[in-house]
Structure formats: C-alpha cells, structure tokens
Amino acid sequence: MASRKDYYDILGIRRGATEEEVEKAYQRLARTYQSAPQPGNRTADFRFREILEAYEILSNKARRERYDRLGIDFPFQEDFWDEILEEAEEENSLEGFEDLWEPGFDGGRLGAEQASSKGKDIHVTLEIDLEGAARGVAKKVQVLQEIPCVTCGASGVNAEGPRKFCGQCGGAGQIQVGLPPSASAKECDRCQGTGKVYTQRCEICSGKGWVGRRRAVTVQIPPGVNDHCRLYLPHRGHAGKAAGLKGDLVAEIRVKPHPHFGRKGDDLYAGLSLAIWEAALGTEVEVSTLDGTARVKIPAGVQSGDQIHIPKRGIPFLQGGGRGDQILCLKIQVPREVDEKSRKTLEELERRSSAVSRRKRDWTGRSGKRE
C-alpha cells in the first residue's frame, strides 16, 4: 500500500517557501547525512532518500504544483528515488559532448579550480629563399590563437541556464573519503560543494571554454638559418589554463633550392667551367656571389674537380662571429669540334708538352711503353 509523505515537513520548511529556502534546507540536511556516514543503518539511508525525494519534488516547479494540488495524498513509490536518480543522471550526462567540454571542467562546473597548465604551441611553416637565409628576413604570418571565452569565464557552461543535482555526490555537495571509523567528508570536486552542476553549454564557445582569435605575428628570421631550422617565439601560442603561461609559436623554416648555389653547412658551392687554355695558362674570372660579383684568379694547371675558395662569401654563422666560404668547383670544358688550324695547334702542344705522357695505361693505372 502506498504511503503518504509531507515533503515540506521532511525538509523542515513552510509550504510557501521560496526556491532558495528549499535549496538551503536540502543542502543543510544532505550535508548532515553525508558528513556523518552510518554504514548499515537502514533508517539513516531511508531518511536520506526521503530528503532527496522531497527536494526533487519541491525544487521542480511542475512537480511542486502537482504536489500542492494533491496535498499529502501525493503518492510515494518505493522505487521513486531510484527513478529520480536515474533520470537526473541521464539529464546531467554529457554524452555526445566529450569533444566539446574541456577535461578540466568535468561536465558543467562553473568557476571550478583547475590546475594551472601551459597552453599548447602553435606550429607554422615559413618558406624563404637562400638570400633570406643569408641576410635574415621578417615574415608575417596569420595564426588562429585560442583564448579564454569571456562570456563563460572559460568554464564552458551557461551560468544562466538550468542546473541539476550532482551525480557524483548525490546533491549533497560532499563525498565520503576513506572507510569507517576513520571516514571523513570532503567537498565534492565536481560541483564544488553546491550539490548542482550546469547542464547547458556556453553558446559562444560551444562548451569548449575558449574561442579562436586570428592574429598577425611577425617572425624575425635571423641570418644563418638552414632548412628545417625551428624558431621558438615564447608566449605567442594558445592561452594556458587557470592563468597558466601561453604556449609558444614554433616556426619551421623551409629554404627553397637556389638555381645556382648549393649549400653545405655554412659554405656555398657553385660550378665554374674553364676552357683548356684557361686551365693550362691560368686566368682571372668574374663570378657571382650572394653579395654581387667578385674577381677570382685561377692558377695555371688546374684540373677538373679542383676547388677554389672565396673567403667569407658564404652563409653567416647563425650564432654570429663569422661566415662561411663560397667554393668554386672547377670543370674543364673540352671543345667537341675543332677546325684544322686548332687541331694542328693541339697536335703541336701534344708533341711539346712534357705534361702529356706518350705511354699508355692499362685499367690498373700502371704505365707501360706505347706499342
């Protein structure tokens, strides 16, 4: 047979009590039973269920109006507490919003204490040419920076929206720590002792607690950077949590290939072709460098593969204090076709030159007499 309950009497309040009075009465009674756990005491357990049931009826406008119309004849079912708990847990569930709520907010807390942590880094890639790597260059880049949502104070919840009792502490605002007889109660870290959690996301940040802001950042690339070099700009990344430091802006440098120069370390390499007579007699040539042109003397008797260094015409040292060289890699050009007069000159050179051996060499490189 159904029993009858006076919910106002259970909470110890008058029938015309305001919502605030209902809330305060429930919090006071719930804390009493949570802070003094009595395992195995079925009377205390039933009493707590009555308090929670009364609060669920009187804190809900529609249920309270129905109860006031029916008076104390409002039926109390033995399984009503379990149904309310299941309903409340379902309403408070954030299932489907796991990718929106920040983990630190734990499903709808407002102003909850969070551990301070540094914000995430922002990574960008900047492409420059070899001249920019040698001289340094400023590059402007647009980044999307995460900053705290001002509307919800980075909580991700709508403070004006509805609230439901906390499923972690059962609405008591406290939870039991340890086992009797040394058991104690501590403030619920999910609802922060209020017994309720917010169930509506902030419309501005969609429950994330942060919003995106586009910002132009100028990255000053120093002379001497190389391909895949990374530059770190402190505190130019995403905002940190709970007043934590901002992350960094990490810029990875990509140096485009140059049509004439190759780079190895801080040295620049370039090819230089010489005619036979230039290589044999020596000459002076004008070559291009990153700083303009330079006159270079080629000594007589150079061979293909020889290298000529032009000091301090390479890439500046990244840490300062010097500069690499520009290195000319020599290649002797042999004419594909010669006229009759030139042929006779070469034949005469062959006869006269002591540098030309008239002996043949086998594949081992050993000399032998010409047959």
User: What's the pLDDT tens digit per position in 6-28?
Assistant: 888 888 898 889 988 888 888 88
- Region of 115 (left: φ > 0; alpha: ψ -120 to 50; beta: rest) is beta
Q: Mind listing the pLDDT tens digit for each residue in 154-197?
A: 888 888 888 888 877 877 888 877 666 677 888 887 787 888 88
276 and 249, same domain (yes or no): no
User: Residue 314: which residues within 8 A CB-CB, separation 6 or more?
Assistant: 266, 267, 268, 323, 324, 325, 326, 327
Q: Mind listing the pLDDT tens digit for each residue in 300-340?
A: 999 999 999 999 999 999 988 899 999 999 999 988 888 89
| Residue for token pair 């910002």 | 215
Q: Give the domain CATH number at 175.
A: 1.10.287.110
361 and 341, same domain (yes or no): yes
CA neighbor of 12 nearest in space, from 4, 24, 3, 1: 24
At residue 361 the predicted structure's pLDDT band, cuts being 50, 70 and 90, is very low
d(CA 65, CA 52): 18
Kindly give the pairing relationship between strand 249-255 and strand 122-128.
Answer: parallel
Q: What is the pTM of this model?
A: 0.58
183 and 117, same domain (yes or no): no
d(CA 286, CA 184): 88
User: Residue 107: which residues within 8 A CB-CB, separation 6 or more?
Assistant: 92, 94, 101, 190, 197
Residue 193 is assigned to a structural domain of this protein: no
pLDDT for res 98 = 32
Is the per-residue pLDDT at 371 higher than 50?
A: no
pLDDT for res 103 = 38
H-helix segments, the chain: 7-11, 19-35, 42-58, 61-70, 80-92, 130-135, 276-281, 340-352
Contact criterion met (CB below 8 Å) for 287 and 293? yes
In this prediction, residues 83-88 reach a mean pLDDT of: 44
Supply the DSSP symbol for 239: P
At residue 293 the predicted structure's pLDDT band, cuts being 50, 70 and 90, is very high
181 and 205, same domain (yes or no): no
User: What are the tokens at 290?
Assistant: 């990153």
pLDDT for res 209 = 85
pLDDT for res 328 = 97
pLDDT for res 81 = 41
d(CA 15, CA 9): 9
Using DSSP's 3-state secondary structure scheme, residue 83 falls into: helix
What percent of the chain has a predicted confidence (pLDDT) above 90? 36
Is the bond leading into 162 cis (omega within 30 degrees of zero)?
no
In this prediction, residues 283-298 reach a mean pLDDT of: 95
pLDDT: is 92 or 34 the higher one?
A: 34
198: amino acid identity, one letter: Y
Residue 353 is assigned to a structural domain of this protein: yes
d(CA 208, CA 153): 11
In this prediction, residues 216-245 reach a mean pLDDT of: 91
pLDDT for res 278 = 93
Residue 25 is assigned to a structural domain of this protein: yes
User: Residue 180: which residues within 8 A CB-CB, separation 6 or more?
Assistant: 37, 39
Q: Mind listing the pLDDT tens digit for each residue in 235-267?
A: 999 988 877 889 999 999 999 999 999 999 999
Q: Mind listing the pLDDT tens digit for each residue in 99-126?
A: 333 334 444 555 445 567 889 999 999 9
Q: Mind listing the pLDDT tens digit for each residue in 27-66?
A: 888 777 655 445 555 666 677 778 888 888 888 888 888 8
- Where in the sequence is the domain holding 209, given as residue range(s)? 98-162+199-257
d(CA 313, CA 227): 19
Is the per-residue pLDDT at 352 higher than 90?
A: no
How many domains does the chain contain in total?
3
113 and 242, same domain (yes or no): yes
In this prediction, residues 132-142 reach a mean pLDDT of: 95
87 and 168, same domain (yes or no): yes
Is the per-residue pLDDT at 90 higher than 70?
A: no
Using DSSP's 3-state secondary structure scheme, residue 42 falls into: helix
User: Residue 10: which residues within 8 A CB-CB, separation 6 or more?
Assistant: 50, 51, 53, 54
